[in-house]
């Protein structure tokens, strides 16, 4: 229960009681009834007499000014107590199902405020009018008059408090309509300063289309305070935990993943991946040129010339005698 709502309910309880005091509790109506010679203890006179409790005067007439001051002070005290008690009782009223509680609270506040104000008026009138000390019945009569007014007509304050309760509840429901961000069970947007948290797109607005197939995102650094929100991620990947991609030992062409069609955007057909470039076999190393061996029995011209020129040098004289010659 907000403070504004409690004040509205207290104002609803005060308005009908204030109208009774203005219309029936003024000095002119009271003087006219007294001049008519009505007997307050006969017939329906007592309930009418209770209506004259929050009475006030502007001129003393045949009485003294002390009497006027005491009556006006009692009226002010009564309404102050009524407001305070109504605000205190409104705090205990259920904000959703407090219609009956509002009526009971208004009635209770009127009874208590009337009894306390009547007691104070009785004590002060005894001082202002020089009433003897044995004036207990006079004070008790003032208390009974105030409490009887609240008991008989406090339901009017309860109805006014109920009206204020209904009006304040209607304003609260209009201020927070269902479907707005921040309501329980309604989608909302993430704060832009939170790192790696996407901003949810409103219903009916298509998300920005990606020109390339989806690739798992790398770990992103923490976004500074007040920075720009990051680019949204498709909803199908928002609830999947992030995993570090495993890179193979040898790069191989991977088929492209078809992009899931989004609401309000025509689907993009999958594009064929480019074929892997063919690797040419490495060229074999050229064998070094080996000299071809000459065929047996073939002598070159240079070899024949060498034999002819060095024949004398190659002749060896054997000076030893053979065994047969001896």
The DSSP secondary structure of 89-109, one letter per residue, reads: HHTTS-SSS-HHHHHHHHHHH
Q: Is the pLDDT of residue 12 over 70?
A: yes
- 262-293: pLDDT as tens digits: 555 556 666 666 666 666 555 555 555 555 55
- 168-177: pLDDT as tens digits: 876 554 444 4
Average per-residue pLDDT for the chain? 71
Residue 235 has what DSSP assignment?
G
Q: How confident is the model over 196-214, as a mean pLDDT? A: 52
In contact, 219 and 225? CB cutoff 8 Å? no
Identify which of 27, 25, 33 has the alpha carbon closest to the alpha carbon of residue 63. 27
Identify which of 90, 85, 108, 101 has the alpha carbon closest to the alpha carbon of residue 155. 108
Q: Is the pLDDT of residue 183 over 90?
A: no
Which pTM was predicted? 0.52
Return d(Cα 54, Cα 38) in angstroms, integer. 19
Q: How confident is the model over 181-200, as a mean pLDDT? A: 47
Predicted local distance difference test score (pLDDT) of residue 200:
54
Predicted local distance difference test score (pLDDT) of residue 1:
67
Q: How confident is the model over 6-15, as a mean pLDDT? A: 92
Least confident among 14-18, 36-40, 99-103, 110-114:
36-40
- 64-85: pLDDT as tens digits: 888 889 999 999 999 999 999 9
- pLDDT over 90, % of the chain: 21
Return d(Cα 161, Cα 164) in angstroms, integer. 5
pLDDT band for position 323 (50/70/90)? low
Domain borders along the chain are 3-58+65-170
DSSP 3-state of 248: coil
Predicted local distance difference test score (pLDDT) of residue 192:
46
Predicted local distance difference test score (pLDDT) of residue 274:
61
Q: How confident is the model over 125-145, as a mean pLDDT? A: 79
Q: Is the pLDDT of residue 207 over 50?
A: yes
- 222-269: pLDDT as tens digits: 555 555 555 555 555 455 555 555 655 555 555 555 555 555 555 666
Identify which of 143, 146, 123 has the alpha carbon closest to the alpha carbon of residue 135. 123
Per DSSP, helices labelled H in the chain are: 3-24, 27-35, 45-51, 65-90, 99-128, 136-175, 301-309
pLDDT band for position 194 (50/70/90)? very low
């Amino acid at each position: 229960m907000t403070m504004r709502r409690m004040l509205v309910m207290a104002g609803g309880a005060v308005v009908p009681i204030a109208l009774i005091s203005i219309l029936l509790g003024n000095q002119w109506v009271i003087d006219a009834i007294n001049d008519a010679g009505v007997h307050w203890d006969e017939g329906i006179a007592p309930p009418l007499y209770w209506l004259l409790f929050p009475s006030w005067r502007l001129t003393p007439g045949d009485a003294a000014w002390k009497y006027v001051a005491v009556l006006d002070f009692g009226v002010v005290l009564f309404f102050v107590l009524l407001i305070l008690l109504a605000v205190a009782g409104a705090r205990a009223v259920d904000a959703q199902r407090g219609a009956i509680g509002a009526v009971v609270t208004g009635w209770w506040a009127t009874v208590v405020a009337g009894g306390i104000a009547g007691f104070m008026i009785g004590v002060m009138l005894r001082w202002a009018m020089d009433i003897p000390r044995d004036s207990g019945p006079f004070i008790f009569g003032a208390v009974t008059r105030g409490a009887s007014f609240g008991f008989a007509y406090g339901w009017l304050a309860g109805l006014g408090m109920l009206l204020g309760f209904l009006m304040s509840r209607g304003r609260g429901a209009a201020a927070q309509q269902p479907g707005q961000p921040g309501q329980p069970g309604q989608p909302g947007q993430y704060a832009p300063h939170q790192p790696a948290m996407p901003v949810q797109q409103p219903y009916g607005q298509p998300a920005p289309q990606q020109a390339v197939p989806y690739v798992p995102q790398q770990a992103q650094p923490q976004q500074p305070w007040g920075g720009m929100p990051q680019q949204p991620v498709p909803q199908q990947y928002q609830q999947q935990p992030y995993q570090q991609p495993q890179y193979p030992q040898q790069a191989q062409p991977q088929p492209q993943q078809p992009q899931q069609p989004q609401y309000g955007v025509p689907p993009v057909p999958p594009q064929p991946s480019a074929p892997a470039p063919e690797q040419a076999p490495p060229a074999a190393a050229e064998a070094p040129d080996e000299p071809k061996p000459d065929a047996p029995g073939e002598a070159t011209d240079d070899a024949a010339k060498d034999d002819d020129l060095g024949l004398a040098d190659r002749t060896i004289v054997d000076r030893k005698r053979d065994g047969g010659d001896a």
